[in-house]
Every structure is written in C-alpha cells, then in structure tokens.
A and B are shown apart, each in its own frame.
Chain A
C-alpha cells in the first residue's frame, strides 16, 4: 500500500485523545438511594473527576478508535497497485453518411450495431466500455461496465448524412485510453481518406462493408444565373460511377416536383460525367436533380441534390441623392431591386430598406443596417477628415476581396476625394497612399461601405468594371437575393436563417427546431429539403466525393493512426479512500447504535 498524503498518518496519534477521554471517564458505581428526594443530594455529592490509570474494555471505545483510524487513513489517501483486471475498451462507431449503404443487409450501420452487440457478448465481465461516434466526434457513453447503459446509447444512435470525422473520433478514443491499458475497436466501412490509416497497435479496424458495393452519386452541383439575364439559370451536375462495372443511369431534373428533363446514359467504371441544364423561372422553385439506376445502387443519399431558387425576391434599395444617373442606371438593371430615390431620410425609416446609398447626403444618426456612403462622412463616426484632396492615384487595391472580382481599378482616376483616416478596425479595400478610398466597417447592426470620393469626381463609373462592381456589391451585401447558391448547403455546414420573427424549421426527418429571429442553424445533418414555417426554405446535399466512394479503402483489420498520446503500460492504482470512508460510516452507525443500546 502507498499513500499520497503520508503526513496525515501522524494524526493517528489522535487515538490517544480518545483513550485519554476514557481514562478520565467517571467510573460508575452503584448507590442505593432510599428515597428519590435524596437523589439530588447524591448527585450533588458525586465525586470529582479523577484520572484512572486502568482502561476498562469497551466495544464502543474500540469502535471509536477504529473509526478514527479509518478516517485518518482515508485522509492519507492510500492506494494499492494492482494488475488491472479491468479491460478498457473504446468502441468507435462510424456514423457518417456512407454507413447508410445497403450493400450489406439491411444497411452497414445496422450490421455494425449488430456486430457490436455480438461483440459485447464475448467480452469478460470486468470490461469497461465506452462508446464514441465519428460524427460528431463525441463520447456518447464513458467507461462503464454497465452493458445495458451502453446498449441503450447504442440503440439510440443513428447515422447522419454528413461526411465523417474519423481522425477526430479516433484521437478522442486515444485520449480516453491514454492513461489506461485499453483497446479501440473502430466499426466502419473504411470509406475515408487512406492517409488516416497510419498504424498503431491498439486500434482494431472492423470493416462493415461488402466486397463489391455499387454506387453512382452526384458529387458536384452548382447553379449560376445567366449573365445579364434575370430568371435564367444554368446548373452543372457531376455524376461519378464508383462501382466496379458499367452502370446505366437515368437522370431527372424536377422543379416543384414537375419533371423538367430526363435522360439516360451509361457510365463506365470510375467514369465521370458533367451535365448542364438551363431553365427559366420567375417564381420560387424547389429544384431537384435525381439519378436512378436499375437495380438501385447501394447508397441513395447522393442520388439526389436540390436547391431552392428565389428569383422573385425583392430588395428594397434606397438611393438618397440629389441625382446620380450612374448609380440609378446600374441599380435599375436588376429587376430584383425595387429602387427608391429620395433626397433625405430620417433615422426611423432606415429599417425599411435592405440597402441604402447615401450619395453626398449626410446620413442620419445613429446608422443601422447596410449602408453605402459615397463622398460623404456619416456623423459621429470615429474618423478624422482633413478636407478634400485632389488628383489621387490608386496605389493599393485589395483585389482578393469579392467586391473586386473581375474589376480592375488600377487605372482609375480620382480627381477629388475626402482625406479621411481609417475607421477603427475597418477593412481597407482601396487606397491612395495613406488615404482610404474605400473601406468596410462592421459593427453590431451596421455594415458600412465608405467610399470617400464622389463618383462624378472620378472616372470610376466609366470603367468597364463599374457595372460588375455594382453587381459584386449587391451580391456581397445580399447573397440571399443575388446568389442562387445561397439556399443550397452541404450537410455538416451551418445555414444562416435570415428571417425575422419566430420560425419553426423542420428538417427532412421531421426534426423541428424553433428559431427566434435571424440565427445560425448548425444542425444540417440530413440530406433533403428544410422547411421554414411549412415552406421549403433551403436544401442540404451531401456533395462529397470521398463519402460517395463507398468502396472499401482498407481491408486490413489493424488500423493505425498518428500517435498523440502514448498510453502508459502501467499498473492500475486502486484508491482506498471510498472504501475507508464507507467503512467509517458503517462503523459510526454501529457505534451509535451500540451506545444507545446501552453498551457503554
């Protein structure tokens, strides 16, 4: 036995105090009292305490000493080394999308769970098992020898339509057994990058996959609106054949469940094919692309992709100006924009508009919303102005910013601009020496693009890239209106719900979530349409070539991973603290009972 706090053992000398108490204890003697009226006199005349050298035997004394010894021992935190008879086992279950493959009946996940249950039956009694899922990588059940608890967690587990995070899950498993002797069993279909497989001896790979699974999947899906045309879109779909043989495929494109296009083709093994399709729509559509094979392939999650397109969304844009033909013309190009032109606006009216341009008109204070100030400084901003400067060449362009995509401004001439400082924390997009010509400043409830020159005092509107810049600007401020890809996400990604008020979001498996106001929804776990207040709002797709490749990547039973921890091959420490305290409690009760039973 060893002690973590051996100094506490000195307190064992306190047992002497108990002994002292008993040495000082008044000895009882029999006194015959002829009358109870004499009782008080006798009690008054009791002899004074005296020290007795002889210690009478008492069970209670013994118990009290033992109790004290036990508590002091507990205080010293003793432990025993023992060869652990416990086994520690971590079961990592792959819960990624590919586990829904049906190449093994009924699907890989079901078979994996069954194999785990069978495996549990073979484990010795003192095995402590933990359960980890691969997506999200988390401990679902920590070490316990309670199989029922483990099985309950296992029963509740279902795969998600999300690509797995195998490395994180295995690292988590390793961290659980880092200070114990244990093993990890990874029940998986091995459809993950083979570079994850680097060897470590205490991880066992248990593949749950057939030899020849079939899958044809959609691995790429993109939508673009035709340049310069509103309501016209084109999609690109990439289909890959991950099977070993040639496959006959039927491709269908549907809009609001109505068939738009269908065609059949063949893909050789490992073949890929791109499809494009263009269409016109002027109202919201739920676009679906699906592929079918005969017989059906083994993984259906990637046979479908979808998106919601909202061509009819309207953006309320206000131009506060004495007149700016360039801007008006550029903004009127977009039917999505309902343009209002005023020469002033109050602070209360700001929330009525999605985007506001202040063209040489002082904005109200405080500013809120999406604001673009041109040639004017908003009031009460932490910015210094030194008046106007003339003939400013452009010396710096942050060409990587989305606002400047396909826009070259190096040759732009600015005849006159406000000589201002940068707003604190602002992102400078365009500069003439130290003077920011364009900067973006974001605060709570405010996104401000400050352009410190007047368009009419430059040749900016005459640049070839000006209309492109306006488009980029609109798309940057309101991607939900101008980017047809906005309402299409990949499973595992977050989606920003931009609707105000109380909303109910229901996913493909009827999981519902209440949302208040604009918020980020981070549980996009299943492929399919997500409905907001009953209407299809956005669609989640898998679109992951790695996950769609359900062909087994590794047949080896041993799996290795880069080592982050090295579990000590140490003996177990068995701390005796709980045992000693429990014994003390029992003996305390016993002592209490004996005392009140009169065994003094």
Chain B
C-alpha cells in the first residue's frame, strides 16, 4: 500500500510535459539514442524528486510480529509458577526474530506496562508493582491491545491461571477481533503448595423459629488430609467435626435450629496442617429468623418485676430477663431484640460501650426502649451526661437550663455570744464551725439554687440575703463577717425568713436552724405551720447541752423537717451537708400523689385516669423540649414521657415498678397500661419489600422491590437501610427510588464478615425487612485450579492457541502489512545517481569507455 504525506506536491508532475516540450523544440549535438536516454533519465530524476517531495511511503507485506506478554502476578499464582514464567520471559529475546517486537504488561487488580513492544527486547529487571489481591484480565487485554504498534502481526500471550475476579475478559473478545489481535494463552497452574480452604457456606437466607435447617460447607484441599471444621453462631462456638479433605470439593453439613427471631451470623473455621494461606480457612453465612418480637428486660431484682414479666409473656411477648451485669456487650447482640426495658438500672452498672450501644440500638436500629424509675435510676443512677440520657425524652434530675431554681434554702444561724465558745475544750468555736458548715452548703449546691443566711441574736440580720449561689465568692465574704455576740431570739428570724421565702418561686423552700441556746418566747408552732402551708419546711440543729432541744425538735416536727442534736461541734459541717443533700437531692420525691393526665394520646387513651390509684414516689426529671409528657406529678415533674429518637421509640416512667407503684397492682387498667407501653415502643414489621443485597467489589448494593399484596408497585416510600457491619460498625443510607417500586442504595463493604441490613420505612417508622450479605476473603484465595474455560475461550475466539513453556510464540507467522516506510530519501538517492548518469550521457564523448580502459591499463602497467 502506498501513502503520501504531502500529496499536494504530486501536482508538480505538470512539469513533465514541459520537459518534453523543451526536448522536442530544443537542439543538441547528441545522437538520437543519447538524447532519448538523457530524456528518460531526466524524467526519472524529476519523477523521483517529486515523489520524494510528496513523502511517498509504502507498506510492504511483512512477517514481522509484535507480541505483548501479559503476566498475571496476582496472589493466586504460586511463586513457583511465577518463577517458571520469568524463566520463559527471559528466553524471549532469543526466540524472537529480527525486527520482531515484544513488550510486557504485569497485571493483578490493575494492569501496568512494564515495557512497550520494541525490537531491543529486555524485560528484566522488573520495576512495576501491582496490587496482587485481585485478577483483572480484561484490563490487561485492553491495555495491550491499545498499545500494540501498527504494522505487522499483533499478538498477545496471556500468562495466567484464568481465575479472574474483576472485569469480564469475555466481553473484550469482539474488540480484540476487530483490532486483529490474537490471544495465545499460557496457563499458569500447578505447583501449588499444600492448601486447604473453605469455598462456600450454603444455608437458607430465612428460616422459621424452631425449624431445622441444613448448613452446608464446601471445602477443598490440594492434598489428602484431615482437619477440624468448627462452626460458630454469632461469635460463639457451636460444634465441630473431624473432616477428611481431598483434592476435590467436599460437602460437610451441620444442622441448625434457631428458636428466637433475629439475624444470625454463622462462621465456619477449618483447622488443618499444613496450610499455605490461612485467610481462606474461614467463611461466613447468615440467616434471618422471623417471628414474634423479642424483648430484653434488665433488672437487678427479678422478684420485684415478676408480675410485669408474667403480664408481658401472657400477652405473647418473648421476654428474656437478665441482670444488668450480664447485659449484651455488643450492638449485634442487642440487635436481636425488638425492645429493651431498663428497670431501676443505674448507669454505673453498665459500661460506657454498653450505654453507647443502647443509644445506637434505638437511634440506628429502631429498637424500642422503656426506662422504669427507681432509686437507682435517672440522676441517682448517674444518667447525666451519658449516651443513655441522650436517648431519653427527659433529663435525669434537674436540668440547669430550667428557668426556675429548684431549691431556696435559708440558714438561720444563732450568732449569740455563746456561739463564740468552743466545745469540749476545742480551739474551734461554734460560730467558726457554723461558718464552715455554711461554706460547705454553698459549695455543695449548684449555682442555680438560692441560699440566704440569716443570723440572729436579739435581732436578725441577713448576713447573706437570699440570692443565687452563683456568687459564691461574695457569699463567702459575707459569711466570714459573721461574729458571735448578743442574745438569742429565734422567732423574729423565723418570721423574717418566712417573709422572704414565701416570695420565692422555687420548688423546694427549706430552712435549717442552728442554735445552741434557749430562745425567747414566740409562737413558733403557728409560724412554722404557716410556713408549711406555703410548702416551706424547717429542719433544726441543736448544738450543745444548753440548747433548747425540745423546742428544736418541735420546730422540726411542725416544719416537716429533721431535727439534729449534737454536742460535738465538729460534726456541724457534716450535719449541714447531710441535711442539704437530703433536701436538695429531692431528685426523689417520696410522697403519695395522684398522677395528673397531661395529654391524651397513644399511651394514655382508653384508660380511666380518674380512678387511677396514687403513687408513692418518683424520681425527679426534667422534660426535654420535643418530648411528649402524658402524665405529670403534682409538682409538674414528668411521670410518663415518650418521644422518637432516630428510628426508635422511647418511653420513660419515672415512678417504679415496686414500692412506689404498689397501689397500681390492683388497678383495673394496670395490664392495659403496661402492655400499651411495650406495644408502642416495639417497631411493627411489615413484609412488602423484596430486597437483594450484593457485593460488587468493595461496595454493597441494595436493591429493593416494593409491592403490595396485590402485586402493585409501592412508590414514594421513604426507605432507609441501616447496615450493621463486622466489628459492630454501622452505616445508614437512604434508598433512592429508581423505577416503579424499586429503590437502590450503596454502602461500603471492605471488611470480611457478615453485613446485616435492616430496612425501615421512615414515614411509618416501621422496620420493614431484615436481610444481609456476607463478604468472604479475597477471591484470589478461592480457586485452586485454573479457569481453563476462560483461557480456551479467549484463545479460540481470537484465533490464538494454548501454549506451553516449551512453545516459541514467534514461530507461527503470517503475512501482514508492515508499517509504512518512507521512500523519500531512497528516491532522492536514485535521483542523484540518475542525474549523474544524465550528465555523463550528455557530456562524455563516445569512446570514452575505451579511452578510460586504456588509461587504467597503462596506469597499472
């Protein structure tokens, strides 16, 4: 084939007639023969120069070959086979003929050119490094095909075991044929070290409760051996059996039976020796058991909760009771339950991880949570600032952000002269210890509480007027100014304290009176009872032998407080501390009251609240902004609250199921009330989704078809999938609708193990389906034998052959067209030569040959 780089110059052929014209019209002394020869020569010179100028190129038939060697360096190729392949490649320069070209590509997960096809063949040393954990033959073939040089025969020699796990080499066949590239294959197989592996675990994706099912495990070994096959369920050992392995696939079976609903992961582990690769000795599978919801109840006192347990079981719930010290330690384990009940559980009994798991369980897995109060719960149970408090619709205890202070406390301190004495010969005086006690109270209380210190002798003085404790420094200075002198007149102080306290809006108003002596007269009973009516309580501390113990006790009695008596002045700070704690941590309300219905709703409707029996106490909490408060205490504290947290629902009952609610046992609506709570938190399940979860590379793909019972597509669902991955990691994704009734989403799946997928309808807040998938070890470790099918297919379809290490790939040849050669300078050479001839023909005389010969012979003679 002939080509021209600058075909425009061919138009110079118009000069040819001009040459003829000059020849015809001109005259010369040359003979006719010489003239004609000269003309021909001149024409040829011109033609060759024009062709040279036009850049004529020619492709000739050739038997030149260009071969790209594709070497599979993935993990599935043993070192021995790689070594054989290297030896073979080292011989290629000797096998190739002159002008043959060879190049090398290394491939695994990706393909890289080690050297482009060239005549000067030299592959070693190798410089390229390739990810060997996968095999992508398609990429290598495409790369080779795109980089084989033009002209000559184009071939690929594929050195591989054919076990591709990325890409589809079959799909490239048409492309290779179109580009006239032949693929010869040289299978790399054999020489494998002793290897045993587990290939598949087959079990049904879904089974019924109590139904027996088969768990089949396919194992293979490259040699005859024995081993132990162990089976684990959700990480716990189940059983094992001795197995005999052979160089062919063998099937081993276990029988499974699951009694409770949930998602179960099975792991099979093969122990055998010797064994080259260990990562392919374990394999995972999963199954889902559908059934009625399971509930986990954590309680320390099973006896106290017995009635509730029986109630729930009677109602058809599958209930499991555990001590908090035996609570599930993993999210995976927790995920097997539809609801979790915490009965009077302290956060200190659970680890930080368990607390976090509870939060994730509700938020991401849609689990239900009921928290029942008691003296170990909420603030008393140190829920504050834990993940558990985050989940609840209430703050544990009093939340700082409330506008109203909870406690207004007035310390009425006797500063009469006797308070300047020490006790029992101590150097410390009563007044100094009283001051210390006051400081202790100030330090103890949170800054949002209010305190005042009223000191009295004959008169009374606000040493520290009622104010927020936030100003501790100022208060401290004011306390320091207390000095003892004067008489003892308690009544005016009480009156003054009452006057100020009644103005306070705090939930708790309390007075602590400290005196060491007899007071002047006053109608203490009346004033203290008046205080009581205004919900002001009074406690008293009598110190010393001279104290009016009887009066102090009566005041405490009338004031519904506590009376303390001590002769040891050192105990003053301690007494004040205890009394302050007793009052301020009314975090627990121990009194009989009737719950107030705040809201008719799913938890309270249909219940006759007018006849509800009283409760005897509750733990104090503060509602969160968006929570729903159904029942309140007379103090307006939440009694029954709920909300949605993430995908799950939470209910809080701040009384208990024990001494405080003992009256409720006989309440006709008792059962209805408790079952209602549990039903509300448990996510209802509806099966109208048909999910498929597949793993594509390192990504998981969820495709869900949604149909109703009539087969109609369900559209515009707001579906969410939560994927619980190995090591309890979680990912939550929204599924996008991609077709009528079809929703899709992707998640990352780069760890080996099982992946549990929960599907939720976000609008209905219902868990709709549970399914999963497994990720096994790298497929590089799965095949012990080469995929000759694929290799044969590639060779046959492209006109190639199956080679062996003894074959020379350069022997088989056929004619093809070479790359175009430029004839530019060849024509120029010819033109020069012919020009000289032309000049010679015209210039040299006849007989010149004989003349030159004579001259030469004479020279040699």
Contact = CB atoms under 8 A, between A and B. Distances in A.
A428 B783 CA distance: 14
B46 A588 contact: yes
A21 B851 contact: no
A269 interface: no
Interface string A56-72: 00000000100110011
Given A26-B845, A75-B832, A588-B46, 14 more contacts: A49-B848, A68-B835, A222-B740, A393-B216, A395-B216, A395-B218, A425-B170, A425-B792, A428-B789, A581-B49, A581-B52, A585-B12, A588-B49, A588-B835
Contacts of A576: none
**Interface of chain A, main secondary structure:** mixed
A292 interface: no
Given A74-B828, A395-B200, A410-B203, A433 B248 contact: yes
Contact of B690 (A24, A223, A406, A585): A406
A72 B49 CA distance: 12
Interface string B220-258: 000000000000000000000000000011110000000
Sorting the interface of chain A by its residue count into under 10, 10 to 19, 20 to 34 or 35 or more gives: 35 or more
Contacts of A410: 202-204, 216
B283 to A, nearest CB: 12
B711 A224 contact: no
Interface stretch (B22-30, B361-369, B494-502, B640-648): B22-30
B265 to A, nearest CB: 16
Interface residues of B, number: 75
16 contacts: A11-B832, A48-B851, A64-B835, A67-B835, A223-B739, A236-B738, A274-B737, A276-B740, A278-B713, A395-B216, A396-B218, A400-B694, A585-B53, A592-B22, A593-B22, A593-B26
B84 interface: no
B733 interface: no
B793 interface: yes
Contact of B740 (A18, A235, A592): A235
A116 interface: no
Interface stretch (B670-678, B757-765, B836-844): B836-844
Contact of B248 (A77, A425, A434, A588): A434
A226 B712 contact: yes
A596 B28 contact: yes
Contacts of B28: 595-596, 598, 600
B832 A21 contact: no
B15 A585 contact: yes
B27 A596 contact: yes
Contacts of A408: 204-205
A396 B793 contact: no
Given A25-B845, A433-B248, A588-B42, A68 B832 contact: yes
Task: For the complex of A and B, list the 9 residue pairs with the smallest distance between their C-beta atoms, beginning with the closest.
Answer: A596-B26, A425-B793, A222-B739, A26-B845, A234-B740, A433-B249, A410-B202, A49-B851, A21-B843
Interface in A418-437: 422-428, 433-434
Interface in B179-214: 199-200, 202-205, 214
B797 interface: yes
A21 B844 CA distance: 6
A539 to B, nearest CB: 17
B790 interface: yes
B789 A422 contact: yes
Central interface residue in A25, A424, A434, by most chain B CB within 10 Å:
A424
Interface string B534-566: 000000000000000000000000000000000
Contacts of A199: none
A71 to B, nearest CB: 5
Contacts of A577: 824
B602 interface: no
Interface in B768-796: 789-790, 792-794, 796
A21 B202 CA distance: 97
Central interface residue in B248, B251, B692, B839, by most chain A CB within 10 Å:
B839
Nearest to B797: A425
Contact of B842 (A226, A393, A424, A595): A595
A244 interface: no
Contact of A222 (B200, B694, B738, B855): B738
A589 interface: yes
B63 to A, nearest CB: 29
Contacts of B844: 21, 24-25, 49
Contacts of A22: 843
A236 B202 contact: no
A274 to B, nearest CB: 6
Contacts of A433: 218, 248-251
B759 to A, nearest CB: 16
Interface string A384-402: 0000000001111001100
Contact of B845 (A49, A229, A394): A49
B109 interface: no
A224 B739 contact: yes
Contacts of A229: 711
Nearest to A233: B740
Contacts of A406: 690, 692, 705
A594 to B, nearest CB: 9
Given A21-B843, A68-B832, A236 B793 contact: no
B166 to A, nearest CB: 13
B18 interface: yes
A406 B705 CA distance: 10
Contacts of B836: 14, 17-18, 68
Nearest to B168: A427
B113 interface: no
A595 B26 CA distance: 8
A585 B49 contact: yes
B847 interface: yes
A589 to B, nearest CB: 6
B742 interface: yes
Interface string B2-33: 00001001001001001100110111110000
B829 interface: yes
B702 interface: no
A405 interface: yes
B218 to A, nearest CB: 4
B274 to A, nearest CB: 24
B569 interface: no
Contacts of A224: 713, 739-742
Contact of B715 (A74, A77, A274): A274
A67 B839 CA distance: 11
Nearest to B24: A596
A520 to B, nearest CB: 10
A21 B843 CA distance: 6
A584 interface: yes
B22 to A, nearest CB: 5
A423 B796 CA distance: 12
Interface in B30-72: 42, 45-46, 49-50, 52-53
Contact of B42 (A393, A394, A428, A592): A592
A106 interface: no
Interface in A14-32: 14, 17-18, 21-22, 24-26
Contacts of A236: 715, 737-740
B825 interface: yes
Contact of A276 (B250, B713, B835): B713
Contacts of A5: 825
Given A226-B711, A399-B694, A425-B792, A71 B831 contact: yes
Nearest to B250: A433
A597 interface: yes
B42 A227 contact: no
Contacts of B143: none
Interface string A227-271: 111000011100000000000000000000000000000000000
